[in-house]
């Protein structure tokens, strides 16, 4: 089977999370990703532990599978020449340096476009390339500045960050979308272009109804814990042994829930008969529902409510979530060989292609020799010098 991005070469100058997450998506789709790393140090996340793996950190391994690692010191003229040779042969370049850094090395978009007009060049910043160009972009800080923390946490508690670097992940996905659109446009025009994404804009774009609510009213939404500002019941409710997440998105679902917990009268109570009424009287409703749910366990109510078409689920930890995904036939992880932790399966599936090569994250500089041979500047000037490919293979055949 042919990978969607087979033959596409990606020069990945990024590090940490948003950029590497983006390039891993492209690798999953069949692109050859060359990960350019600092000699002796590599990507920052190689040192971000615990937890540690046999050869690196679990953080690094989470977003760097199926890539080729080459160590290049951009301050060294010989290494910089190799980096430029790679960039002038690549289809895609990804970078997340501060604005102006790549330009200082002759690796900026306009310099490269002059010699590689088909290049799709993706820049990932914290706050854009204008007034916020020199501000360092860290997910935690953007969660605070971008409003996410203001709507996360208990109503009477402090603002909280989300339990993962969600803004980096969202921005990495936005960068992937932009790159794929750039590659498609190149098929039409023959020219690449500069794709720019930034953490703050990606966060604001992901706040959807919360931002829209503010724009409609001029009032900033606040923290509501696990409750929803516009739907009820849409929250965690206590059962005899712990919480159960319930999401009644319409009146029909609420009617079925009321019947399931032995309180069919709630569906005709004028305080709860419509969603708007339930939102207005959400506190009273929660007390009544939790009184009924206290009669049994969260597992019991999950089974009963789900059987009646009411969205409900127990609060699981990561292990429980993986177990549930396996039970549902989703195959949430796959092996990349002995000595490496399993990888999380790509969330995208195709009828004729299985995303994600079964190859592990590279050790630092693992592919130094072969990449330098491919892109040695003098050899690059030879027309017969072929662009390398990294063909898809379940059994790792064809790897350098």
Which of the residues are catalytic?
168
Beta strands in the chain (DSSP E): 9-12, 32-37, 68-71, 92-95, 120-125, 194-198, 234-238, 243-247, 312-314, 333-334, 343-344
Q: How far apart are CA 8 and CA 226, in angstroms?
A: 43
Q: How far apart are CA 21 and CA 172, in angstroms?
A: 6
- Residues 220 and 200: beta-carbon distance below 8 Å: no
Token look-up 């379940």 returns 394
- In the numeric block, which tokens belong to residue 293? 């749910």
Residue 193, CA distances (Å) to 219, 336, 389 in order: 39, 34, 23
Q: How far apart are CA 230 and CA 215, in angstroms?
A: 15
- Residues 336 and 343: beta-carbon distance below 8 Å: yes
């Amino acid at each position: 089977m042919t990978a969607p991005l087979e033959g596409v070469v990606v020069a990945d100058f990024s590090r940490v999370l948003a950029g590497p997450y983006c390039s891993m998506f492209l690798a999953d789709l069949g692109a050859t990703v060359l990960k350019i790393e600092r000699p002796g140090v590599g990507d920052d996340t190689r040192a971000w532990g615990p937890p540690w793996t046999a050869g690196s950190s679990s953080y690094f391994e989470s977003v760097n599978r199926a890539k080729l690692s080459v160590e290049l010191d951009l301050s060294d003229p010989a290494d910089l020449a190799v980096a430029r040779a790679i960039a002038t042969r690549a289809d895609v370049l990804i970078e997340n340096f501060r604005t102006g850094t790549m330009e200082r090395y002759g690796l900026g978009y306009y310099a490269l476009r002059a010699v590689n007009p088909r290049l799709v060049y993706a820049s990932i910043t914290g706050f854009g390339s204008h007034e916020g160009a020199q501000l360092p972009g860290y997910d935690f800080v953007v969660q605070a500045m971008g409003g996410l923390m203001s709507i996360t946490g208990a109503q009477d508690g402090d603002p909280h960050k989300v339990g993962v670097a969600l803004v980096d992940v969202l921005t990495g996905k936005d960068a992937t979308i932009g790159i794929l659109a750039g590659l498609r446009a190149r098929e039409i025009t023959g020219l690449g272009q500069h794709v720019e994404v930034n953490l703050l804009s990606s966060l604001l774009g992901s706040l959807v109804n919360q931002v829209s609510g503010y724009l409609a009213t001029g009032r900033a939404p606040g923290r509501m814990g696990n409750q929803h500002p516009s739907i009820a019941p849409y929250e965690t409710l206590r059962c005899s042994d712990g919480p159960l997440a319930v999401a009644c998105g319409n009146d029909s679902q609420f009617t079925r829930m009321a019947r399931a917990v032995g309180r069919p009268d709630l569906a005709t109570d004028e305080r709860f008969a419509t969603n708007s009424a339930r939102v207005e009287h959400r506190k009273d409703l929660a007390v009544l529902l939790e009184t009924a749910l206290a009669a049994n366990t969260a597992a019991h109510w999950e089974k009963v409510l789900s059987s009646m078409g009411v969205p409900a689920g127990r609060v699981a930890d990561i292990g429980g979530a993986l177990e549930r995904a396996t039970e549902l036939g989703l195959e949430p992880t796959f092996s990349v060989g002995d000595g490496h932790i399993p990888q999380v399966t790509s969330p995208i599936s195709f009828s004729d292609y299985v995303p994600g090569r079964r190859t592990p994250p590279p050790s630092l500089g693992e592919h130094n020799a072969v990449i330098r041979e491919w892109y040695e500047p003098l050899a690059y000037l030879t027309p017969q010098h072929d662009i390398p490919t990294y063909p898809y293979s379940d059994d790792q055949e064809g790897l350098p």
